[in-house]
Structure formats: C-alpha cells, structure tokens
Amino acid sequence: MKFIIQSKKCCVARVGILTEFERIPDSKFETPLALVYTKGGSVPHLTKDVFKLITTNPQVLSISLPSTYLMLDSVKNTNNSFAEFVGMKEYINFLTLHDPAYTTPSGFQVFNSTPIWTRCGKHHLTPNKYMDLIEAFKPDIYVALCDGDTNINSGKKRLSKAVQRSITFFEECLTKHCSSETLKSSEILGAIEGGYDKEARTLSINYLKNKPIMGYVIDGLHNNGPDIKNISAEEIKEVVEHTINLLPTEKLKVSMGCWNPLTVLDLVELGVDIFDTSYPYIITENLEALTFLCNHHSCNIGHVISFTEERYADDFSPICSHCECLTCKNHTKAYLHHLCKTKEMLFSVLLMIHNVHQYLEFFNAIRENIKRGTFYDYKKEINLKFKQNNVIETDKLTDTQSAKSKVL
C-alpha cells in the first residue's frame, strides 16, 4: 500500500491518495477519508445490496473486534479472510481494537494483555493471541495491540503505563507481522498513546516515528461511545497539534471516534487523514437525520432534525429537498415520523441510508474544498449551520416555557 500526499507541511488540511493495495490493486482512495462503520462486518441496518445503492464508489470498511471476535473460530474453519467470510471481499478492511460507537469500559487493563468487550463479555488479548487473530482475519490494514484506556481525566501513572505497555505490545506485534507470510499484503499501524499529557505523547511518538509502518492512530483521547460527539475541538486541539508536529508528515494520521462534523473539520485542518462513520450511526440511533449539508432556502433547518417531534407528522417534504439519497427522493418527513412512532424497522433503514449518504458527501465536500483552496470558507459555512440549530433549540425551549406559563 502507498500513501501519497500533495503537501508536506505539518498541521495543514491536505489531500492524499491511498493506493496499491495488494488484495485489490485497482482500489484508490482520496483522503481525508471516512471509513464506513460496520458491526459484524456489515453496515448497521443495511443489507449489502442497499449499501451499494447508497454509493457505487470503492469504500474502506471499519471492522471492530468487539463485533467480530466471536466469529474467529468460524473464520478459521473456512480458511478464508474475514472479508470473504462476511461476503464483503470487494471492500478494503481496516481492523480496529475497539468499537468507536460504544463506550469501552475503563480500568480492566492487566500487565501482559488488553481487554475487548463483546456481547458475551470481556476477552483479554495478549500480543500473540491478537496476532493469531490478525492472521486468521487477514485485514488489509490493522492497528497494533495497544492500551488506549485513557482520557482527559487520566493521571500520569495511568498514562505512563499505557505508553509503556503499548510500546511492548507494538514490538511483539511488529516482530510477528514482519515474519508472517500470511500478512505480507497487510499494513500495520502504530497507536500514539499518552492521553492529554504532551510528555507522555512525545515518548510514544519518539518510539514509533521511525518504525517501518504506514501511519499512526492518534489514540487515548477518549473511551469511545456516543459522548465523543460532545467533545469540542478546543479540548483536543493542543495535544493533537503537538502530536502531528512530531510525526513524519508523509505518513498516514488516523483518528477514530464519533467526532461531530465541527471537530472533524478542525482535525482535518490539523492534518488528520482518516476518520470513521460511527457519528451518522449514533445520530440514526438517536432517531435523528443529518441536515448540516442543507444550505438551500427551502431547507431552513439546523444540523439535525429529530423525528420524535410532532411537527413532522404533517410535513410532506423530504428531509432535504436537494439531497440525492434514496430516502429523500422517495419519502417524506411525515412518513418517517409515522415509522418512528410505530417503531417500524424500516425507519432505521431509511434514516441510515440518508445519514450515511450525507456523511460521505460531507467528506467529498471537504476534499473538493481543500483542492479549490476554499476549505476555510466551507468550515465557516458548516459552523453557521450548527449555530442555526442552537438558535432553533433555544426558540423551541422558549416556546415550551411560554406554553407552560400560560397553563399556570
């Protein structure tokens, strides 16, 4: 695999190309890129055929161990890769240790292994056990075993242990990776740990920056889950900027988690190349539709709308009149509100179609604006959309309070 970038400057928004994958040689992906979030190897709520109706472009799937670990024995028995086992062999697979959409329980680290959490409970992985799994799954890209159990509240002792254990794990993973015939076509990434402590991050970076790897995952900023969408760029900017300034500019930078679009734009501006689409999944689970790309006069709405609100019961317009997704072309807000109220499974399907489409279009727009030199104008435009949503929420709260006062 090769990663080619146009700009060699640190901490700037940049466009790059991922290419020359051994398993699918014709695949080519532009960055900044959103990995398509999956559970058990499939996009949540969508069949493969429906997903292909959303986008015909090649995609990279984000595969997490918590949703796939229990398939290990079955994958081994078939002697196929995980991509072949789940019928997604035409997509590049990016394997991660944790599921970005679900909070990872904290405080269960032990000396020589790290835990993952499946629907059947906790499973500890040593570097050897982890690499045996990697050889069975045969992902195109994967992250070395690491201890990312840190966040903004982690103390120096926890951060020091996370860095040291991750260094030890990486060394064992890299040794096995380099000696494995099975993994010759796979790429390994290193995880930069250290939480919000610059000194700890510097230690992690100095160890990894000259290793023979394609890139780095900026890890240890959070414990995953839906609350990550509430983390602002101001909270993470200083430590991310410090990290990227010390890393080789020509290598891939990855940040997993359901960051909100404003934080994504700030991270892109700092030079992060790869994200994931757990955010639109979380929005779907919240019964909401993404509308932050709607900038037309006929769509006077904020960055999301919630179908739990009664005002959509008689609204026979689409989510966005200019959206090209299957949901907006064929269904109205009133119909979606009805499906939501009656708890029909089709509601999640239609909402996921729209939200994934919107998010992939968001990244298309990011890349195009970087190329045109209008990225900062685009960033201002999206920020205004979120501010508009805040105004709408404030107005709704005021109306509710006024109604209560009249009743009293």
Q: What is the DSSP string of 147-199?
A: -----TT--HHHHHHHHHHHHHHHHHHHHHHHH-STTTT-EEEEEE--TT-HH
Give me 168's structure tokens: 């030890």
Identify the band that residue 93 occupies on the pLDDT scale cut at 50, 70 and 90.
very high
Confidence category of residue 388, pLDDT binned at 50, 70, 90: low
pLDDT tens, position by position, 245-281: 999 999 999 999 999 999 999 999 999 999 999 999 9
Tell me whether residue 258 is annotated as binding.
Answer: no
Hey, CA dihedral for 126, 129, 132, 138, is it positive or negative? negative
Quick one: angle between helices 261-270 and 375-407, nearest 10? 160
| Residue 294 labelled as part of a binding site | no
Q: What CATH fold (topology level) applies to the domain 2-284?
A: TIM Barrel (3.20.20)
Angle at the Cα of 367 from the Cα atoms of 362 and 371, rounded to 5 degrees: 145
Please tell me whether 177 is known to bind a ligand.
no
Q: 117 pLDDT band (50/70/90 cuts)?
A: very high
Does 120 belong to an annotated binding site?
Answer: no
Enumerate residues 6+ apart whose C-beta is below 8 A from 140: 1, 21, 23, 24, 60, 83, 92, 93, 94, 185, 186, 187
Provide the whole-model pTM. Answer: 0.92
pLDDT tens digit sequence for 6-27: 777 777 899 999 999 999 999 9
Q: For the chain, where do the domains classified as CATH 3.20.20.105 start and end?
A: 2-284
Distance in angstroms between the alpha carbons of the first and the last residue of the chain = 67
